[in-house]
Homo-oligomer: A and B are copies of this chain.
Amino acid sequence: MTISRAADEAGVGVETIRFYERKGLIEQPLRPSGGYREYDRETVERIRFIQQAQELGFTLREIGELLALRTDRKADCADVRNQAIAKRDEVECKIARLEEIRAALDAVIATCPGGGSLNSCTIMEALSDHRAKAAVTTESPD
């Protein structure tokens, strides 16, 4: 399978495959003819694995670790589970943070008269510091 075929099968671009290769996410493929990369079904699966994991919010670095686990004979299912749990906790933190932001935006929108000069715009006021802290600040930013 050529690189463009593999890219099609996996649903990514050719350059993406070369990029993953550089990043060590997929192994160096054989080059039987004229230096052209030769891919098998397994590598396509591996690329799909990467895509799936990305959809779950894993970074390429983390996916690299998962892939390393996959070929590690000593690796345990619990290792993978722990990774997944850590990622879920991380996602939960992000959600909580975004919910705070949403609440702050809602508050600010609710008090806005919705028209008139900026001098009486409560949103601008809220962003212009002083009193703003209560409505806006929510501990450490991301």
Known: A102-B88, A105-B87. A55 touches B124 (CB 8 A): no
Residues 27 to 47 of chain A near chain B (Cβ within 8 Å): 45
Among B77, B92, B101, B118, the residue within 8 A (CB) of A80 is: B118
Bound complex: CA A34 to CA B95 (Å) = 49
Tell me if A1 counts as interface (CB < 8 A to partner B).
no
Chain B's closest residue to A102 (CB) is: B91
Chain B's closest residue to A93 (CB) is: B98
Bound complex: CA A80 to CA B111 (Å) = 12
Among B52, B77, B94, B137, the residue within 8 A (CB) of A132 is: B52
Bound complex: CA A84 to CA B136 (Å) = 13
Residues 14 to 62 of chain A near chain B (Cβ within 8 Å): 45, 48-49, 52-57
Query: When each residue 116-142 of chain A gets 1 if its CB lies under 8 Å from chain B and 0 otherwise, what string results?
Result: 111011011011110010001110010
B129, A49: Cβ atoms closer than 8 Å: yes
**Which 4 A-B residue pairings sit nearest by Cβ, starting from the closest?**
A77-B121, A88-B105, A48-B129, A81-B112
* Sampled A-B contacts (11; CB under 8 Å): A49-B129, A52-B137, A55-B101, A57-B98, A57-B101, A57-B105, A76-B118, A77-B114, A77-B124, A85-B109, A95-B102
